[in-house]
Amino acid sequence: MKPAPRWVIGIGGVVYLLLHLPVLVLVLFSFNASRYSVSWTGFTLDWYRALAGRADLWRGLRVSLTVGLLSTVVATCFGTLIALALARRRFPGQRALEGLVFVPLVTPEIMVGISLLVLFVLAGIPLGLGTITIAHIAFNISFVVVVVRARLEGMDRHLEEAALILGADELTAFRTVTLPALWPGIAAGALLAFTMSFDDYVITSLVSGAGSSTLPVVVYGMVRRSVEPTVNAISTIILVGTSLLIYGADRVARTGGPRQLRRIACGAARPRDD
Amino acid sequence: MTVRRRILGAMTRRPALGTASLLLPGGLWLVLFFVVPMLLMLGASVMHRGTYGGVEPGFTLEHYRRFLDPLYLQVLWRTAAWSALATAVCLLLGFPVAWMIAASRRHRALLLFLVVLPFWTSFLVRTFAMIFLLRDTGVINSILMSLGVIEEPIALLYTPFAVLSGLVYGFLPFMVLPIYASLEKLDPALLEAAEVLGARPAARFVGVVLPLAFPGILAGSLLVFVPAIGSFLTSDLLGGARQVMIGNLVQNQFTTARNWPFGAAASFAVMAVVLVAVLLSLRLRDRDRDPARRGSG
């Protein structure tokens, strides 16, 4: 394609600015000494210090991490298994299952949250850590399936087939050939699932009881009540945290190119003594 | 052939992990905690209202009828109109960005990364960033006042403008990426051919670029419109009490108003709008692919 016309680059540049300036301004003012005005009155770390003394934030963080880890582990296992079936097997009802995985991705969060609330209330399940975890697993499975399946479909199937021909049973072929090559996909899916869980407000706020607020639910309360610079500070911390996670997911997803795959395959297909 | 048969044999003879065992845990979870809740909500939408939330047995369509009240139709209309407007603004802003990325050689990876980055940043944090800019003592008003452009702050927050900005800001990456994907595949030879044949830049854009980017535009519009229709946080934090969208109405019926059946009916109204949008885009796509219509151009 030829270089874009100047007006295209002009508009594009402005849009990039609009896309990133709000968050950058937010971060900048988390270090501003003035409490009320947005004029710059000097550098301070007071707002970060103030965060340390807030028990509700620490409690929220603990709940978020617990739910995040639990739901990530379960959703990653379930999602990977479904991805394997969708990519490697043919079975009746496959289209229906694909739909079942796809629909949660396009359903408005508010509907997912409300419908789960209805279920929990009608089934008499008390709202709390358990219901949040159940909900997060439910919305994370689809994300894991999408990521892992993409990796599986990009993988060379001949290596698995070679292992099978050379006498490995299916489980051995899976363990020694498929799984090592699939790891980056699984890890990327898990990290994305954790980010989704750690980030979610809408669904969580509906299915969390009074005693178990995740970090976003606590922060939402802070935003609603006042716009103190402490909100800027906690926002900045969340930004840095999620950025690191995404960076990690990206790095992991990129590792393990074809060369590594071949090495793994050769190792598995080595002639055996028996 | 024999190799093929051996592979198939090895795969089918000893299915160490049966397909069912792969599907069962996740599938069951999705059925239990996605399908069943949706069905329950469908059921709740035709039942009677319980006194303290919940539902009473019975069958009625009164909640769907109640939704035809001008008050609620207005909320639905507002939601659809804002979502459509946000989609249009995203298209106008997103197309040049997608074009810029597709045309760039050296900085393509960086430009793409910068589009995807906000998508992964916490939605709540980004919405708060908008509050920080728009409120009376916010960045925009402070700058305008210190420049002497305005005497006292203009109300930006809790206005339709604020909600619309929030929607555009939140969903713009969804528009850029599909358009970029379709522009990237565009064969430069087609543009050169049009140029050689004497088409002016504007004619090349309308006659070549736009039709070929159409699938991307369609996909992007759907990816913006659908989450906008169901959005809750944006209008909740930026719109205040007056700029209610359908997502807020649904949430309110289940939390404060405690009218579950009506809330359920309202949320199926959201789904109906989403469904119409999806079907419409599928139709447009099929028409676009129909060679008989294309050939005439």
What CATH number did the domain enclosing B188 receive?
1.10.3720.10
Residue A1 pLDDT exceeds 80: no
Residue B149 pLDDT exceeds 70: yes
Helix H segments across chain B?
A: 2-13, 19-30, 36-44, 62-66, 70-103, 108-120, 123-134, 139-146, 160-184, 188-196, 201-204, 210-229, 233-234, 246-255, 260-289, 291-295
Rounded to the nearest angstrom, the minimum Cα separation between B288 and chain A is 23
At A247, give phi and psi (nearest 5°).
Answer: -60, -45
CB pair distance less than 8 Å for B97 and A15: yes
Residue B253 pLDDT exceeds 70: yes
- Structurally, chain B folds into a number of domains equal to 1
The position carrying tokens 């055996």 is A272
CB contacts, 8 Å: A26 with chain B: 125, 128-129, 132
Rounded to the nearest angstrom, the minimum Cα separation between B278 and chain A is 10
Chain B residue with minimal CA distance to A109? B230
Of A134, A164, A235, the CB nearest to B128: A235
CB pair distance less than 8 Å for A108 and B115: no
Token code pair at residue A58: 């620490």
CA distance B7 to B19: 17
Query: What percent of chain B shows pLDDT beyond 90?
Result: 33
Residue B58 pLDDT exceeds 60: yes
CB contacts, 8 Å: A81 with chain B: 21-23, 25-26
**Domain span at B205:** 67-289
Task: Flag whether residue B33 sits within 8 Å of chain A, measured between CB atoms.
Answer: yes
At B5, give phi and psi (nearest 5°).
Answer: -65, -35
Q: Which helix (H) or strand (E) holds B31?
A: none
CA distance A136 to A141: 9
Residue A47 pLDDT exceeds 60: yes
Chain B residue with minimal CA distance to A172? B16
Residue A268 pLDDT exceeds 60: no
CB of B227 closer than 8 Å to CB of B240:
no
Of B11, B132, B264, the CB nearest to A26: B132
CA angle A58, A62, A64 (to 5 degrees): 115
Helix H segments across B31-61?
A: 36-44
Rounded to the nearest angstrom, the minimum Cα separation between A61 and chain B is 15
Domain parsing of chain A, residue ranges: 50-268
Chain A residue with minimal CA distance to B249? A110
Chain B residue with minimal CA distance to A39? B142
Mean pLDDT estimate for chain A: 85
pLDDT in tens, A208-219: 987 789 999 999
DSSP assigned state of B133: H
CB contacts, 8 Å: B122 with chain A: 199, 216, 235, 238-239, 242
Chain B residue with minimal CA distance to A215? B124
Task: Flag whether residue B297 sits within 8 Å of chain A, measured between CB atoms.
Answer: no
CA distance B229 to A88: 36
Token code pair at residue B251: 């949430």
Residue B221 pLDDT exceeds 90: yes
- A vs B: CB pairs below 8 A: 253
Task: Flag whether residue B43 sits within 8 Å of chain A, measured between CB atoms.
Answer: no
Task: Flag whether residue B227 sits within 8 Å of chain A, measured between CB atoms.
Answer: yes
The closest alpha carbon to B215, from B295, B289, B112, B294, belongs to B289
Q: Specify the pLDDT at position A117.
A: 92
- Confirm whether B129 is domain-assigned: yes
Band (pLDDT 50/70/90 cuts) for residue B166 is: very high
Task: Flag whether residue B233 sits within 8 Å of chain A, measured between CB atoms.
Answer: yes
Query: What percent of chain A shows pLDDT beyond 90?
Result: 40
CA distance B102 to B109: 10
Rounded to the nearest angstrom, the minimum Cα separation between B101 and chain A is 9
pLDDT in tens, B95-104: 999 999 998 8
CB of B224 closer than 8 Å to CB of B177:
no
Q: Which bin fits B167, alpha (ψ -120 to 50), beta or left (φ > 0)?
A: alpha
CA distance B71 to A35: 41
The closest alpha carbon to A30, from A17, A46, A19, belongs to A46
Residue A248 pLDDT exceeds 90: no
Residue type, B30: L
pLDDT in tens, B101-126: 998 888 888 899 888 887 778 888 99
How many CA atoms lie within 13 Å of A200's alpha carbon, on the beta-carbon side? 32
- Confirm whether B40 is domain-assigned: no
CA angle B28, B30, B34 (to 5 degrees): 130
- Confirm whether B205 is domain-assigned: yes
Residue of B132, B210, B212, B276 for testing the chain A interface, max A β-carbons within 10 Å? B132
Chain B residue with minimal CA distance to A201? B124
The closest alpha carbon to B29, from A191, A258, A140, belongs to A140
CB contacts, 8 Å: A145 with chain B: 26
Chain A residue with minimal CA distance to B255? A206
CB pair distance less than 8 Å for A9 and B100: yes
- Choosing among 3.10.450.50, 3.30.420.80, 1.10.357.10, 1.10.3720.10, the CATH entry for A50-268 is 1.10.3720.10
The closest alpha carbon to A145, from B219, B27, B278, B33, belongs to B27
CB pair distance less than 8 Å for A22 and B129: yes
Residue A71 pLDDT exceeds 90: yes
Q: How far is CA B177 from CA A112, A262, B112, B173, B242, in A?
A: 26, 32, 8, 6, 33
DSSP assigned state of B297: -
Mean pLDDT estimate for chain B: 85
Residue B13 pLDDT exceeds 60: no
CA distance A63 to A71: 12
CB of A31 closer than 8 Å to CB of A42:
no
Question: Which chain B residues in 206-225 lie under 8 Å from chain A, judged by CB atoms?
Answer: none
CB pair distance less than 8 Å for B191 and A2: yes
CA distance A52 to A59: 12
CB contacts, 8 Å: B124 with chain A: 199, 201, 216, 219-220, 223
Residue B85 pLDDT exceeds 80: yes
pLDDT in tens, A175-211: 888 888 888 889 888 988 998 899 899 999 999 987 7
Output the DSSP codes for chain A.
-PPPPHHHHHHHHHHHHHHHHHHHHHHHHTTBS-SS-SS---B--HHHHHHHT-HHHHHHHHHHHHHHHHHHHHHHHHHHHHHHHHHH---TTHHHHHHHHHHHHHS-HHHHHHHHHHHHHHHTPPPSHHHHHHHHHHHHHHHHHHHHHHHHHHS-HHHHHHHHHTT--HHHHIIIIIHHHHHHHHHHHHHHHHHHHHH--HHHHHH--SS---HHHHHHHHHHH---HHHHHHHHHHHHHHHHHHHHHHHHHH---HHHHHHHHHHHTSPP--
Residue B11 pLDDT exceeds 80: no
Q: Specify the pLDDT at position A254.
A: 66
CA distance B184 to B233: 34
Residue B22 pLDDT exceeds 80: yes
How many CA atoms lie within 13 Å of A246's alpha carbon, on the beta-carbon side? 18
Rounded to the nearest angstrom, the minimum Cα separation between B160 and chain A is 18
CB of B29 closer than 8 Å to CB of A141:
yes
